[in-house]
């Protein structure tokens, strides 16, 4: 299975936060799954660091992504094309691009964002309940 982690799912994984359920944790840890982390998430983290909404070290985060053998996903033209076709159910530009990437990459989007279910994306919640978008 191919998983694209939402930014909070990534942060919960790295912090061993209990908000990331055991089933979701098992999916991320499964070496048979391809876990994607988008550069969009890194951008979102840096933005939140700069405005004081998050305390983290971007160097440690990128090192952990590499250590955990996650695939770092660039932003490509196909992602932007998919983004241009998405409806505007809410206003978070980071979520929009992550959803477009999940659709384009054929990945399950792992998130707790209640708005994600409004989009045409396959998703799995951080408590690991599978839902089709």
State the DSSP string of 31-43.
TTSEEEEEHHHHH
pLDDT digits (tens, 9 = 90+) for 77-94: 999 999 999 998 888 899
Q: How many CA atoms lie within 13 A of 41 on its CB side?
A: 25
Residue where the block lists tokens 């979102």: 44
The per-residue pLDDT for 91 is 82
C-alpha pair distances (Å), 41 with each of 22, 73, 129, 131: 22, 10, 22, 22
pLDDT digits (tens, 9 = 90+) for 3-62: 999 999 999 999 999 999 999 999 999 999 999 999 999 999 999 999 999 999 999 999
The per-residue pLDDT for 127 is 81
Could you give all domains of the chain from N- to C-terminal order, each with its CATH number?
2-131 (3.40.50.1010)
Higher-confidence residue: 110 or 90? 110
Prediction pTM value: 0.92
The per-residue pLDDT for 95 is 94
């Amino acid at each position: 299975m191919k998983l694209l982690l939402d930014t909070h799912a990534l942060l919960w994984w790295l912090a061993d936060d209990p908000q990331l359920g055991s089933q979701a944790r098992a999916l991320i840890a499964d070496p048979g799954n391809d876990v994607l982390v988008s550069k969009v998430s890194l951008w979102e983290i840096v933005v939140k660091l700069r405005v004081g909404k998050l305390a983290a070290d971007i160097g440690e985060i990128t090192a952990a992504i590499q250590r955990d053998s996650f695939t770092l996903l660039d932003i490509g033209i196909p992602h932007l094309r998919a983004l241009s076709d998405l409806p505007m159910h809410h206003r978070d530009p980071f979520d929009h691009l992550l959803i477009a990437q999940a659709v384009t990459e054929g990945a399950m989007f792992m998130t707790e964002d209640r708005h994600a279910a409004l989009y045409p994306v396959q998703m799995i919640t951080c408590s690991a309940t599978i839902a089709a978008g």
